[in-house]
Homo-oligomer: A and B are copies of this chain.
């Protein structure tokens, strides 16, 4: 499959008409019209095989996730997604693989009316770099640096599911309670249906994260600071604290857990996944006490649960306390390249 066939295939599957795309894929640059009064929000994220995803990841899931992790960054600043460019590096170009990758990308792109406007396709070790573009009114963007002492710290959704899902894939016995990936392997007992459902739910969180774009928009004018939880709660909340010149105190008992996580993992493992697992793509934000009830109500109306997990304090750093108020040490606050 030649390079230009790949480009045609991706274009055909990811086509999405937007009036502001004056020129899309196929020239030396895309030409795009910005709406008046808005700032351009730009973010880029790379996924590398063997680092950010397992070598046997389904191409549909990879196309989805590459876009999801980038849209999550736009969500974190409260931007409306608009355009993306795709740099796709592959060892080989197999039509079926590329088609499935493009379908995964397109499935999520359609949901947010995002147009793929350009890219580069090269040979090399498998990796995907997306650059996403969105709009946010001047002065309305959510930032990391606005948290104030006393603000509530809130997270959307649940934490730890994706890391728990990854741990299931990495365990040779298929999971802590007999859940297994290879249904055709008769040498192991069948998992109970409820366990299998829980296992699938965790893997879905790992493979097809749902970026909190609508929630980021809702938080404009309400949250004092915001970040998406990609590297792990403690690490990412630490960025908010550092940028805000403050610290945070988290109550471990309040960390929201999915029923799947509660079903398949004991408390210690759950806590590790929730505090430092990464790949959650929930929003962690701060809000003045007086605004907490209104923001929780607005999120609930959008169909998104959200949980107060702690508060901003003066002392730098992120402290985690258990139900008895004792401080819990967090060994590895989050994902760190080159550590």
Which one, B42, B83, B144, contacts A118 given CB within 8 A? B42
Interface size on A, residues (CB 8 A): 70
Q: A88: nearest residue on chain B (CB-CB)?
A: B46
Query: Which chain B residues border A26 with CB–CB below 8 Å?
Result: 144, 243
With A22-B39, A87-B87 already in contact, the answer to whether A129 and B28 are too (CB < 8 A) is no
Q: How far is the CA of A89 from the CA of B92 in the complex (A)?
A: 20
- Identical subunits present: 2
Q: Tell me whether A29 and B73 are in contact (CB under 8 A).
A: yes
Cβ contacts A309-339/B at 8 Å (1 or 0 each): 0000000000000000000000000001111
Contact A133 B85 (CB under 8 A): no
Residue numbers in B under 8 Å from A79 (CB-CB): 29
Taking the complex as formed, is A302 at the interface, i.e. its CB lies under 8 A from any CB of chain B?
no
Most central of A34, A138, A226 by chain B CB within 10 Å: A34
Q: In the complex the two chains form, is A122's CB within 8 Å of B40's CB?
A: no
A-B pairs with lowest CB-CB distance, top 8:
A48-B124, A28-B76, A131-B131, A93-B338, A29-B43, A129-B129, A125-B125, A29-B41
- 29 A-B pairs in the complex with CB atoms less than 8 angstroms apart: A26-B243, A27-B77, A28-B76, A29-B42, A29-B74, A29-B77, A29-B141, A30-B41, A30-B42, A31-B41, A31-B77, A32-B40, A33-B40, A34-B40, A42-B118, A43-B118, A44-B85, A44-B86, A44-B119, A44-B131, A45-B120, A46-B87, A46-B122, A48-B122, A48-B125, A51-B122, A90-B338, A93-B337, A125-B125
